[in-house]
């Protein structure tokens, strides 16, 4: 028989204990939230700068993939043009052999050897020495040219196919690096957005003062550059104040290797696209005291940052997203000076 007794109500003491426990938990949570200190302005900047450095390293890899893609596209286009011309030449050779067959038909019938060629592969045909004996010298010459042209076209088509596959892989890598750069920049911007407008203005003013001090040090006491390096440095100076934009090569915006390659291009010197590639040209200079104005200077162990030496321990460079082309002390770049390169 079912029971109709009312469920037992919790005692007043139990309710009091539960309420007190819940209140204590809320208080502890509130205290924990209050205990988490807000990062200082310098901490936020340090974290954001670290992300900007990671983004720049990814940018140079992106630049390398983009440069490779452009070169592959040019090579593929050239190969495709060569294949098209080669096919036209092959068709002309075949037409020539066909004309011989027509002439033989009009003069009394087609040579069996020509009939054999017109209905089978030339490689197989030329392999039959007994058939070769029946050909005229002109026919042998035509068939040999056809065979060589077919082999050449097959090789070019294979090369084009391989490069197309490489191009697809490179495009995939390019997309991956682009997402990586954008992700790092987005994280850095979120951090900076936690700062007040006043804090951001104070940081910008501090960086501006540092850039002016570096410019005075470089331009006031350093010996002017000479030769191509000096001329390239002068070109770079003309872009002071231009914004850093990742992947940009000028003339109105730049990333680090974009600035150096643009500056040297103005004096007729073509530099590779990325900082790592630029590190492998010219003569390396390991002592900072031996550097001359206009030399390329490289930072970080993976060489993902490059600038133009400005003299007196200063560098002219495109630092990172959110900054402009400016002068800066080599000691404040954020990574160690590795070496210079004299182009």
> Which residues are annotated as catalytic?
256, 305, 317
Q: How far apart are CA 123 and CA 66, in angstroms?
A: 42
Bridge partners of 324, per DSSP, are: 243
C-alpha closest to that of 211 among 255, 241, 232, 245: 241
**Could you tell me how many residues make up the chain?**
343
Query: Contacts by 163-169 with C-beta closer than 8 Å and gap 24+?
Result: 163/72, 163/75, 163/76, 163/79, 164/76, 166/72, 167/69, 167/72, 167/73, 167/76
Q: Report yes or no: 58 and 180 within 8 Å, Cβ to Cβ.
A: yes
Q: How far apart are CA 87 and CA 75, in angstroms?
A: 18
For residue 252, give every residue at least 6 positions away whose Cβ sits within 8 Å of its Cβ, in sequence order, or none: 242, 243
Question: What is the residue-wise DSSP string for 201-220?
Answer: HHHHHHHHHHHHHHHHHHHH
Bridge partners of 311, per DSSP, are: 314
For residue 44, give every residue at least 6 positions away whose Cβ sits within 8 Å of its Cβ, in sequence order, or none: 191, 192, 194, 195
Three-state DSSP state, 308: strand
Q: Report yes or no: 187 and 55 within 8 Å, Cβ to Cβ.
A: no
Q: Report yes or no: 328 and 315 within 8 Å, Cβ to Cβ.
A: yes
Q: Report yes or no: 308 and 236 within 8 Å, Cβ to Cβ.
A: yes
């Amino acid at each position: 028989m079912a029971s109709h007794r009312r469920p037992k109500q919790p005692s007043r003491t139990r309710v009091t204990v539960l309420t007190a426990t819940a209140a204590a938990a809320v208080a502890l949570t509130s205290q924990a939230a209050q205990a988490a200190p807000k990062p200082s302005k310098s901490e936020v900047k340090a974290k954001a700068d670290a992300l900007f450095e990671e983004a720049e390293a990814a940018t140079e890899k992106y630049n390398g993939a983009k440069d490779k893609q452009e070169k592959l596209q040019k090579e593929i286009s050239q190969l495709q043009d060569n294949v098209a011309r080669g096919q036209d030449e092959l068709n002309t050779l075949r037409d020539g052999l066909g004309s011989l067959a027509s002439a033989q038909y009009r003069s009394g019938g087609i040579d069996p050897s020509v009939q054999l060629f017109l209905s089978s592969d030339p490689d197989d045909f030329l392999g039959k020495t007994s058939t070769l004996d029946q050909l005229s010298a002109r026919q042998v010459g035509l068939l040999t040219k056809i065979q060589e042209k077919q082999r050449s076209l097959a090789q070019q088509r294979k090369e084009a196919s391989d490069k197309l596959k490489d191009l697809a892989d490179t495009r995939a890598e390019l997309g991956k690096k682009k997402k990586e750069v954008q992700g790092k920049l987005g994280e850095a911007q979120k951090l900076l957005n936690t700062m007040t407008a006043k804090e951001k203005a104070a940081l910008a003013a501090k960086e501006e003062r540092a850039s002016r001090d570096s410019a005075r040090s470089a331009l006031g006491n350093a010996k002017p550059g000479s030769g191509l390096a000096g001329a390239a440095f002068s070109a770079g100076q003309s872009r002071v104040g231009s914004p850093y934009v990742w992947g940009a090569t000028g003339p109105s915006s730049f990333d680090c290797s974009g600035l150096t390659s643009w500056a040297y291009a103005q004096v007729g010197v073509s530099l590779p696209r990325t900082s790592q590639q630029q590190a492998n040209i010219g003569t390396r200079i390991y002592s900072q005291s031996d550097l001359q104005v206009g030399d390329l200077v490289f930072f970080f162990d993976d060489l993902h940052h490059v600038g133009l030496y400005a003299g007196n321990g200063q560098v002219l460079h495109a630092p990172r997203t959110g900054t402009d082309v400016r002068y800066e002390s080599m000691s404040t770049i954020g990574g160690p000076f590795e070496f210079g390169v004299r182009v």
